[in-house]
Amino acid sequence: MNREKWLLAIALATTVGLGTSQLHAASIIDEWASVKAPPPPPVKEVTVDPKTTALVMADFVQPICSRYPRCMASLPVAKKVLDAARAAKVLVVYTSIPKVPISAVVADVAPNGDAPFVQSFTDKFLNTDLEKILKDHGITTLLMTGVSSNGAIIETSSEATLRGFNVAVVLDATSAATTYAEQFVAWQLVNGPVISPHITLTTSDKLKF
């Protein structure tokens, strides 16, 4: 190889090297169209211990759920899980956002009697008694259902693990505005740093009470 070719090779290698860092410097927006999703994560069977598990019904309230067709479509599944949890005497906790009361929960999955209820934005532990309510009942595992996957579900599930709880997310009873958001959240919950060792993905059919 002559000198010119060597120089060209070095220049090319340098350009490629620079190109990579510049791509990042220019931001992910430039790579947007070529991004591929990783393979789907495993969905596992979960056997619920009624003494130490709580079912969280996250934000199944009319003003939120009715905005998301996928939430409305998840209600039959959520009702099935709720009925099974009640039959097994599992603690059921309802959540909503500030200013939207428990009476706004959609009728299909409405609370019985005096179900614990907390109101907060997407992280339901923030400025609520949720951690105390759960610990007072001896709860160590949360079963998450509700809306939105990239709101209450990801934030509350993640925060729960940081507070020492294990979490099982019932995929077919959770929803978001887009399947893209649901996809990432499913992936993140079992791959994200710190949180993933404590989270399992499941479905209503794989739950045993």
Compute the least distance from the CB of residue 77 to another protein, in Å.
Answer: 7
Query: Smaller CB distance to another protein: residue 48 or 78?
Result: 78
Compute the least distance from the CB of residue 164 to another protein, in Å.
Answer: 11
Compute the least distance from the CB of residue 122 to another protein, in Å.
Answer: 6
Query: Smaller CB distance to another protein: residue 55 or 201?
Result: 201
Compute the least distance from the CB of residue 158 to another protein, in Å.
Answer: 6
For residue 18, give both structure tokens: 């620079």
Compute the least distance from the CB of residue 171 to another protein, in Å.
Answer: 4
For residue 3, give both structure tokens: 């000198």
Query: Smaller CB distance to another protein: residue 91 or 204?
Result: 204
What's the angle, vertex CA 150, arms to CA 144 and CA 156, rounded to 5? 45
For binding to another protein (CB under 8 A), which residues are involved?
A: 20-21, 24-29, 31-32, 34-41, 43, 69-70, 73-74, 77, 120-123, 126, 148, 150-152, 155, 158-159, 162, 171-172, 175, 177-184, 186-188, 192-195, 201, 203
Query: Smaller CB distance to another protein: residue 39 or 113?
Result: 39
Distances in Å between the alpha carbon of 144 and those of 55, 174, 199?
Answer: 6, 8, 10
* Residues 150-162 as b or e (16 or more Cβ within 10 Å = b): bbbbbbbbbbbbe
Euclidean distance between CA atoms 71 and 193, whole angstroms = 28
Query: Smaller CB distance to another protein: residue 91 or 153?
Result: 153
Overall size of the chain counted in residues = 209
